[in-house]
């Protein structure tokens, strides 16, 4: 399902293309120079705790890899110190003096401070992802070596092995395993969605994602701002994420009244306007985040259902509205909803969670389904919520419901808006008869 991206980089971040362009002068060396100056300044200024912590890392790359959450703080401090001796040379304006605007180019590299911040966000992601992938490749090489040795030990010892000895062990170079890493290509998949300062602290959590997961999440990845949310996503399969994202979109379409009408085979697909697509993406993101943070039981059920979950969301969104995910916290209620005849769902509404499969089977025995639809609708109008829920779910009331087919089949010709006559019964007639049914439900026996 195609989705238009509406994300724009904030003022504090440069466009990705600018941040990744080659600069006239290498920035890395000047940043390293600034890092050394800052460590010395912090020590002199009495910030012993931070200075001691930074003392673990001699280079900027080491800080990016080990403490990405510190990077925006250090960059912000450097900007505030730009007029200090030693730092002013690192923030020189092309026409002399010191730059005052984060978007102005710094001489001689030609990049603005915002672009330098953005490039550090990219660099942090690249360094952390590369380190994790390298660790995975080393472990995978060891696993491959162990498997090979086990296979050699368990292999039958034939004449060749007795004459010439064991096979020579191949070299298991970790570099040969890098492309097999599940997160290989993760940086390229996430780079378009990296644009905010708070994402520095999220990089270690992003590193747990697989490339395919990031591709399925697409624009939504930038909407998660807590590490635990991202780690939860990392525990899902790509198929799970795809199903959950589609469910979130279907519900968002319902909420915004943007659900596309069914079209004929030869009719062209109706595209949403850019404005509606942007609204839909925002709502889809909200629904998806709400699912991830608050409705893990719903997620478990939707994962089990797979693609069938999307059909269920289509079906129950108009019935349950904002309470849609609560039904997934009630397995028995969800089973009842799934087994309720689709044409009766609008009449029952949220009460469908109380209709057992046995009761649904009774309703289907009615020859005229319009009669049972209206009786169920009248019940919602007549009883208080808890009372009606009890009468639908209580097994001792099933005989009352089971008496309806005999009462109405072949004996009650019904047309809701018919004129009053002796041949055809209208809504008022049905309400009168339904009143007797409801009294039977109250007393718990067929009257």
Residues 6+ apart with CB under 8 A from 244: 236, 288, 291, 299, 302, 303
| pLDDT in the model for residue 159 | 60
Query: If you search the block for the tokens 């070596």, which residue do you land on?
Result: 145
Bridge partners (DSSP) of residue 92 are 98
Contact between residue 191 and residue 129 where contact means Cβ atoms under 8 Å apart: no
Query: If you search the block for the tokens 């029952």, which residue do you land on?
Result: 348
Which residue, 67, 1, 74, 4, is CA-closest to 41? 74
| pLDDT in the model for residue 340 | 94
- Interhelix angle 296-305/238-255, nearest 10 degrees: 110
Contact between residue 374 and residue 347 where contact means Cβ atoms under 8 Å apart: yes
Cα dihedral 125, 127, 130, 131, rounded to 10, equals -120
Report how far residue 60's alpha carbon sits from residue 31's, in angstroms, rounded to the nearest whole number.
8
Report how far residue 202's alpha carbon sits from residue 196's, in angstroms, rounded to the nearest whole number.
10
| pLDDT in the model for residue 17 | 41
Cα dihedral 269, 271, 276, 282, rounded to 10, equals 70
| pLDDT in the model for residue 27 | 72
Ranges under pLDDT 70 in the chain: 1-26, 157-166, 260-269
Q: Which long-range contacts (CB under 8 A, 24 or more apart) does 15-22 make?
A: 15/118, 16/118, 16/122, 16/191, 16/192, 16/194, 16/195, 18/111, 18/115, 18/118, 19/115, 19/118, 19/119, 19/122, 20/119, 20/122
Report how far residue 246's alpha carbon sits from residue 287's, in angstroms, rounded to the nearest whole number.
11
| pLDDT in the model for residue 160 | 59
| pLDDT in the model for residue 189 | 96
């Amino acid at each position: 399902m195609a989705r238009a991206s509406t994300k724009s980089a904030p003022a504090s971040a440069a466009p990705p293309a600018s941040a990744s362009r080659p600069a006239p002068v290498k920035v890395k060396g000047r940043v390293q120079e600034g890092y050394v100056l800052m460590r010395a300044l912090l020590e002199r200024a009495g910030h012993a705790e931070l200075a001691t912590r930074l003392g673990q890392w001699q280079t900027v790359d080491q800080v990016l890899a080990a403490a990405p959450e510190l990077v925006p703080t250090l960059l912000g401090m450097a900007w505030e110190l730009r007029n200090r001796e030693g730092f002013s040379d690192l923030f020189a304006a092309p026409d002399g003096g010191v730059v005052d605007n984060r978007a102005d180019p710094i001489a001689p590299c030609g990049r603005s401070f915002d672009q330098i911040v953005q490039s550090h966000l990219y660099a942090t992601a690249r360094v952390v992802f590369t380190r994790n992938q390298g660790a995975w490749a080393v472990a995978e090489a060891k696993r491959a070596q162990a498997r090979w040795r086990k296979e050699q030990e368990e292999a039958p010892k034939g004449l060749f092995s007795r004459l010439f000895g064991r096979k020579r062990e191949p070299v298991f170079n970790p570099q040969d395993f890098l492309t097999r890493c599940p997160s290989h290509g993760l940086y390229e998949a996430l780079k378009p969605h990296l644009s905010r300062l708070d994402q520095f602290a999220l990089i270690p959590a992003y590193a747990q994602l697989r490339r395919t997961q990031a591709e399925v999440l697409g624009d939504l990845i930038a909407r998660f701002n807590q590490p635990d949310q991202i780690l939860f996503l990392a525990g899902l399969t790509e198929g799970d994420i795809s199903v959950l994202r589609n469910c979130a979109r279907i519900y968002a379409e319902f909420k915004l009244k943007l659900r596309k009408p069914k079209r004929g085979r030869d009719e062209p697909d109706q595209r949403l306007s850019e404005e509606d697509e942007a609204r839909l993406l925002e709502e889809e993101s909200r629904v998806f985040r709400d699912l991830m943070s608050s409705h893990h039981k719903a997620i478990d059920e939707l994962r089990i259902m797979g693609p069938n979950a999307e059909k269920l969301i289509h079906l129950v969104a108009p019935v349950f509205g904002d309470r849609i995910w609560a039904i997934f916290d009630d397995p028995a209620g969800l089973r009842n909803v799934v087994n309720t005849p689709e044409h009766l769902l609008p009449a029952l509404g949220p009460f469908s969670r109380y209709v057992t499969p046995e009761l649904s089977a009774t309703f289907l025995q009615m020859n005229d389904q319009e009669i049972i639809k209206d009786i169920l609708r009248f019940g919602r109008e007549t009883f208080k919520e808890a009372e009606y829920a009890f009468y639908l779910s209580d097994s001792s009331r099933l005989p009352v419901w089971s008496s309806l087919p005999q009462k109405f089949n072949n004996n009650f010709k019904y047309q809701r808006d018919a004129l009053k006559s002796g041949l055809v019964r209208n809504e008022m007639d049905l309400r009168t008869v339904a009143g007797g049914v409801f009294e039977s439900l109250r007393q718990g026996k067929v009257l």
